[in-house]
A and B are shown apart, each in its own frame.
Chain A
Amino acid sequence: MSADRERKAAKIRHLLETEGDAVFENTTHVNAGRYETNSHRDDIDELRTRAREIKEDAIERLPELVETVRESVEANGGEVYVAEDAADANRYITEVAESKDAETLTKSKSMTTEEIDVNDALEDAGVDVTETDLGEFVVQVADEAPSHLVGPAFHKSTEDIAKLFNAHFDTDETLETAEDLTQFARDHVGEKIMDADVGMTGANFVFAESGTISLVTNEGNARKCAVTPDTHVAVAGVEKLIPSIDDFPPFAELIARAAGGQDIATYLSLLSPPVDSPVVDFENPDEPLDRSTDDREFHLVLLDNGRTEMREDDELRETLYCIRCGACANSCANFQHVGGHAFGGETYTGGIATGWEAGVHGMDSAAEFNDLCTGCSRCVDACPVKIDIPWINTVVRDRVNRGTDEEFDWLVEGLTPDADPGGVDLQKRLFGNFGTLAKLGSATAPVSNWLADWGPSRAVMERVAGVDRRRDLPEFQRETLVDWFESREPLATAGDADREAVLYPDTYTNYVLVDRGKAAVRTLEALGVDVSIAPCHESGRAPLSQGMIATARENAERVADSLDPHLDAGRDVVAIEPSDLAAFRREYERLLDGERAQRLAENSYEVMEYVYGLLENGADPDVLAGGGDIAYHSHCQQRTLDVDQYTEAVFERLDYDVVTSDVECCGMAGSFGYKSEYYELSVDVGETLADQFEAQNVDQRRLVASGASCHEQLESLLPQDSTHPVELVAPAVERVPRTR
């Protein structure tokens, strides 16, 4: 294994051991809360659409909104400063503190201030800074970086915090429970707030027309920091600007749901500083508040730090719609296991962090953790503003690839069939060209399988390309699905059916899992469909996973070329592998010309979705195999596309007794589980799925999985073989007439 891969593997292993359990407990808890709360309303999607429209419009009009907020804040009696970068922001903030002779400053949680490391700048200037969000306070005491956008100390258990506090503070009694720790921290921090010379907050939203900042918290610390001292500095990324209070409702209803499964946050503060509330001077305890002098000062620091460039970047712009709820992290299987100290950069963590880090800290920071996004797309539905986070990650990966200079370039350049330029590392090239590899492997099977599995070859593959030798390799079949299909004699009914479909043979189905392809053909034919088969071309999924967008585009064009004549002939396109359907429905619009992509997206179906449609339209379910006890794991992208429901509906129709998994992902995610640096994480994630199934006593049930990767992961973690849903329901071979 290369030194870099070994370093990554070691870091992940260490975090799995030290922080994994606490992160898992906290993230999965709030993620489950999000599902639960969202299930009580049927207008979440409308709210998300509205929220996205508001953000799109606001980012479009950003320069105008900056001028509007400057006027409104100044009219209120405050100051606005647009800071170009971290140094500029810190200089301004430090000058404000110095102008007030401030010795102490209390802060509420703000990732933007983390981004600029304002605490260091203030402390260098002699100002004592205290974090008042209790999670952030824990991280400050531990001298660590936050590991989550919303829960900075999600990586620490109650026991960890008790140990930390007991060692750090001289308390009368040993602190043990969450209650003890909270009370101690609240009292300690509360004293600091009462004494503070300056209060600093972030801002979740800034309403330009009224100069209002919105602070979303559960603890109440932001309110105290903002209104107790006479000077308030709010630091916000310039992207937080929203036109007016009228635009508030969708965000008010979405942010706490997305973040932690609350209907609404405990405190949604809408402050138009300097506020009318009297300054609370605890040094003059008996001075009535309504007679206290009110010489409040307010500074709104709007931070650019790369955001203007992001706004002009067609691929990264969406990142600016982010409302920092952390739902992408909570819904991410990898994040759930390893947390933000692996899945994050200098400041930001989780799925959306790649976009933020690329924009504000640059590619090196983003590259460190970008590969931890497997593109499973579970975050897409979680995001309250519908950001296509996997696409941002793919784009950043592509840019990282183009900026790298790897030692094996000379070896592969010109030899690999991809369209991506030099710089893409060999591991990525290998997985990105899986289609070519599979074709070669199948043509030379069984020798290829024997050779690939041979110890010395595995060692070379591991050393050179980072293919972990602990993972079983796919076994290529000599007879491909396309060969099998083409060597059959057509059915007697060919050409007479009411429906015609073309089966898209993905690389796995064509060369490895051929039986599921045959089962799909038998099933569709038994239900009265005239089936054709397209040539096997890689959909682009494999190179997309590696961030090789040029190759993916070339693949997509080849697939579209091969499917267009079928679409012209009015055939439906049926895909077996959910990730390929996701490519057709989600990514092709980024890779192909719009109309072409749209036609393919509208006429493609996942095979069980198609079976469902046929049954709904009167096809005879009795020709299919039914009944039995199964344990079913759907597929991440299938769930994002909401097509998993059709598989389950078909199972129900055919009288299967089904136990369904609900963990976010199996952890295999295409090539991810093969990579030596991520193998252990992949297995750790997979074990959550295996544990869930084992807890449901599924050992006597047939194991069924929709995705090829899920199938491989389940077979490696559970004793049973796994099968595709269409193999389960397909009529037995002898019932299909006239095959050769």
Chain B
Amino acid sequence: MRTDTIDRFADSLSGADVACTRVEAGAFADALDDVVEQPAVGVPLDIDGVSLDDTDVEVPPTPRLLREAETGVTRVHGIVDYGTFVIQADEAGAEPVSLYPTTHVGVVRASDLRENVHETASWLGEEFDAGRDSAVLATGASATADMGELVSGVHGPQRVHAVVLTDR
């Protein structure tokens, strides 16, 4: 069941031009270092057994790092239908870290995947009640067609990468 959900999430990600790496918690640090381009900045992931401490990602973020980093790493939740990241705003700076660098790497627990927007809205309702009341549903890289043809990487990231923790 879990594998099937991850497969469908990966399919949707692929449709949104988002790469997907599947990894178990134990192999996370190496897998992440393979994915991130330096310099990289991140915020604490707050996932059991998984941390940015053993990686090349700098924490905490500074304005300079936001400007200069190639990669920003945050924890996200996922929506299977569209390959969407749900980025919850926090005091550590998940929102700007997911927004300013050229690439955003979202780390998602398989157990944090929800099928569709409807289920996500229900969950967010609970989160809002608990005080975590700002989130961004981000699908793929930022884009615009305002200058004619579609161009990726406008005010937000140009590339997006998902790291799915299959055993979490």
A residues with CB within 8 A of B: 26, 76, 132-135, 138, 151, 153, 157-158, 161, 177-179, 181-183, 185-186, 189-190, 193-194, 210, 212, 218-221, 223-224, 227-228, 244-246, 248-249, 252-253, 263-273, 275-278, 280-282, 284-291, 294
Contacts and interface: CB of A to CB of B under 8 A. Distances in A.
Q: Which of A218, A244, A287 has the most CB of B within 10 A?
A: A218
A223 B99 contact: yes
A219 B156 contact: yes
B143 A219 contact: yes
A78 to B, nearest CB: 12
B139 A277 contact: no
A267 B63 CA distance: 22
Given A245-B128, A280-B96, A218 B143 contact: yes
B2 interface: no
A158 B139 CA distance: 26
A174 to B, nearest CB: 15
B137 interface: yes
A270 B156 CA distance: 16
B91 A290 contact: yes
B38 interface: no
B60 to A, nearest CB: 4
A479 B61 CA distance: 85
A218 B144 contact: yes
A288 B61 contact: yes
Interface string B126-168: 0010000111111111111111111101111100000000000
A585 B141 CA distance: 45
B91 A249 contact: no
A266 B138 contact: yes
Contacts of A135: 144, 146
A181 to B, nearest CB: 4
Contacts of B157: 220
B67 A158 contact: no
A98 B133 CA distance: 29
Nearest to A134: B146
Interface stretch (B20-28, B46-54, B114-122): B114-122
Interface of B: 60-64, 66-67, 82, 84, 89-96, 99, 117-118, 121-122, 124-125, 128, 133-151, 153-157
B121 A249 contact: yes
A249 B156 contact: no
Given A178-B148, A252-B117, A287 B154 contact: no
Contact of A289 (B82, B92, B138, B148): B92
Q: Which of A267, A275, A287 has the most CB of B within 10 A?
A: A267
A190 B64 CA distance: 14
Which are the 6 A-B pairs with shortest beta-carbon distances? A220-B156, A158-B148, A135-B146, A285-B64, A272-B133, A220-B155
A50 to B, nearest CB: 11
A181 B155 CA distance: 13
Given A26-B145, A280-B63, A280-B93, 20 more contacts: A134-B144, A138-B146, A178-B147, A178-B150, A179-B149, A186-B153, A218-B154, A220-B154, A220-B157, A224-B99, A246-B125, A266-B138, A266-B142, A267-B137, A269-B137, A270-B124, A275-B95, A277-B90, A286-B62, A289-B60
Contacts of B143: 218-219, 266
Given A161-B148, A219-B143, A224-B155, A289 B62 contact: yes
A135 B92 CA distance: 32
A265 B133 contact: no
Nearest to B82: A264
B146 A151 contact: yes
Contacts of B144: 134-135, 182, 218-219
B64 A286 contact: yes
A421 B143 CA distance: 53
Given A244-B125, A288-B62, A157 B146 contact: no
Given A223-B95, A249-B121, A270-B134, A158 B147 contact: yes
A179 B145 CA distance: 10
6 contacts: A179-B147, A219-B144, A223-B155, A227-B99, A277-B93, A277-B94
- By CB atoms of chain B within 10 A, which of A266, A270, A291 has the most? A266
Nearest to B129: A210
A217 to B, nearest CB: 8
Given A212-B133, A270-B134, A290 B155 contact: no
